[in-house]
Amino acid sequence: MSMSALFRRFGYAALLTAPLFGCEGEATDEPPAEETGITCDGDVCRVAGGEYTDDLTFTADKTWFLDGRVFIGDGTTNNTLTIEPGTTILGRASETLPGALVIQRNAQIMADGSADAMIVMTSDQGDMARAGNWGGLVINGNAPINGCDTAPCTATGEGDTGIYGGDDAGDSSGTLRYVRVEYAGTKLTADSEFNGIAFQGVGSGTTVEYIQVHANADDGIEFFGGSVSAKYVVLTGIQDDSLDWTDGWNGKIQFLIAKQLGDQGDQGIEADNNGDNNDLEPRSNPTLSNLTFIGHADSDIGVLLREGTRVSLNNTIVTGFGDACFAIDQTATFAQACTDETTLTGDFTVEGVVIGGCGADFLEPVDDADMPLDVPCSVEQFFSIEPDVRGNEVRDDLTLDNYRLPAGSDLLTLGATPNDPFFTDVPFIGAVGEDDWAAGWALYLD
């Protein structure tokens, strides 16, 4: 059996009985002795933690082991990491020094796989892999974020993952296409943990298509400001929120399946503008269409919109969440949504959203004393205003064929695509119509 096959099947520990990269002994959480660099032994290459400022290529004929936080670029260099189709990347499992891949500002990642040659980023633990083993993928860009008194605003990523943010909304951090990230999300402290993929101030020039995050211990994907958009997204077995945004994200998503697989998931969507100041600009205001969120009886809320965010949410199915299907919180968020019980602001739109089969249809907001929050309309009223125009529905008999609409469902024809060239014109509500775009490359859905 090749060394890379040993890695995939049995994990890093299986190779400790023989010298690996010239080292012997037991696996520890101590920093590696070697300086930043890449050393290969047969078909396994060890990438030491640190900054890499030259162009690199991870080839498909080798397995690439991230032995710490691997930074592509130093924040100023314009170098590129190219990852060939079919490449496997293993992250070092550790509670204190996990492997992680960080693309710095001004650098790029070109990870352009295919349906039959996925690029897979996973744990080094093989068959023993579990959520939270390693750090995951972080991309830092130069696009605007909020949170500062003056622009351009910058911030430092959780887990010391570099500086992000700037004034270039069209910034490009490269391409992610047919990429799967598995078993990531190490929790470093109570306030610092890795997402499966963190898009931090990433610009709209970045291409993100056909990506999957599976079994992440924190959020599946989280957008920290920026303007990057994504199509064809699968999020499975996420133990916190499947889709999360904050700090002024203004991108777009079309075609997203989020399916919770156990009792550890939280929200399908958890959406914020800024938790410290709900009215900071740029305000979070993404446009989303054709999403399906499938919860679990022990999970929380399907869609939770809060902390002053706006959104345009279209053609979406929410079902199976233990607490509720749909919720809005904080007075600043309601101020974006409605002016009274029958009037919408027009800045916060929810159209063609079908919910049902949750612990409750709606969750109304309360204050710190668990008293009803003083808001201009209830969540249910907001959802139900102008039903014939907006097309929102509560269906007690909402059922899916796994993540797909059953044959003959009227939801296959009731969708209305947002008027924006990013969005593919499709007739259905939910993530998948008659043609299943997830088939053949996305795993863990059945």
Report DSSP letters for 40-51, one per residue.
Answer: EETTEEEEEEEE
b/e for 253-277, b at 16 or more Cβ within 10 A?
bbbbbbbbbeebbbbbbbbbbbeee
Residue in the structure block whose two tokens are 């156990």: 262
**Structure confidence at residue 159 (pLDDT):** 86
Burial of 96 (C-beta count, 10 Å sphere; 0-12/13-18/19+):
exposed
Helix, strand, coil percentages (3-state) for the chain, rounded to 5, are: 10, 35, 55
Residue 192: CB atoms within 10 Å: 14
- At 111-137, the pLDDT tens digits run 999 999 999 999 999 999 999 999 999
Question: Would you give the DSSP letter of residue 12?
Answer: G
Q: Which of 204, 203, 95 is nearest to 142 (CA)?
A: 203
Band (328; pLDDT cuts 50, 70, 90) = very high
Q: Where are the beta strands (DSSP E) in 237-378?
A: 243-246, 252-259, 269-271, 287-294, 301-305, 312-319, 324-328, 338-340, 343-344, 349-356, 362-363
Question: Would you give the DSSP letter of residue 72?
Answer: E
Letter for the amino acid at 35? E
Can you say whether the dihedral through the CA atoms of 33, 34, 35, 40 is positive or negative? negative
Q: How do 343-344 and 338-340 pair as beta strands?
A: antiparallel
The angle formed by the CA atoms of residues 167, 170 and 171, to the nearest 5 degrees, is 75
**Structure confidence at residue 391 (pLDDT):** 97
Share of the chain above pLDDT 70, in %: 92
Band (149; pLDDT cuts 50, 70, 90) = confident
C-alpha distance from residue 13 to each of 29, 38, 123, 155, 181 (Å): 13, 20, 12, 37, 21
Provide the phi-psi class of 255: left if phi over 0, else alpha when psi is between -120 and 50, else beta.
left
What is the chain's mean pLDDT, rounded? 92
Helix/strand/coil for 15: helix
Whether the pLDDT of residue 17 is over 90: the answer is: no
Whether the pLDDT of residue 31 is over 50: the answer is: no
Whether the pLDDT of residue 224 is over 70: the answer is: yes
**Structure confidence at residue 125 (pLDDT):** 97
The arithmetic mean of pLDDT across residues 423-436, rounded, is: 97
Selection from 18-27, 100-109, 183-192 with the highest mean pLDDT: 100-109
320 contacts 296 by C-beta, under 8 angstroms: yes
Q: Which of 98, 85, 438 is nearest to 234 (CA)?
A: 438
C-alpha distance from residue 393 to each of 305, 318, 354, 357, 380 (Å): 18, 11, 5, 12, 11
Please give the residue that has the higher pLDDT: either 8 or 232.
232
Whether the pLDDT of residue 384 is over 60: the answer is: yes
Q: How far is CA 434 from the centre of its chain?
A: 25
**Structure confidence at residue 15 (pLDDT):** 47
- At 32-42, the pLDDT tens digits run 434 579 999 99
Whether the pLDDT of residue 356 is over 60: the answer is: yes
**Structure confidence at residue 18 (pLDDT):** 35
Q: Dihedral of the CA atoms 376, 380, 383, 388 (nearest 10)?
A: -110
Whether the pLDDT of residue 338 is over 50: the answer is: yes
Q: Which of 392, 389, 381 is nearest to 343 (CA)?
A: 381
**Structure confidence at residue 36 (pLDDT):** 78
Lowest-pLDDT range of 173-177, 192-196, 202-206, 243-247 = 192-196
**Structure confidence at residue 7 (pLDDT):** 53
Question: Would you give the DSSP letter of residue 226?
Answer: S
**Structure confidence at residue 19 (pLDDT):** 34
Whether the pLDDT of residue 1 is over 80: the answer is: no
The arithmetic mean of pLDDT across residues 223-230, rounded, is: 98
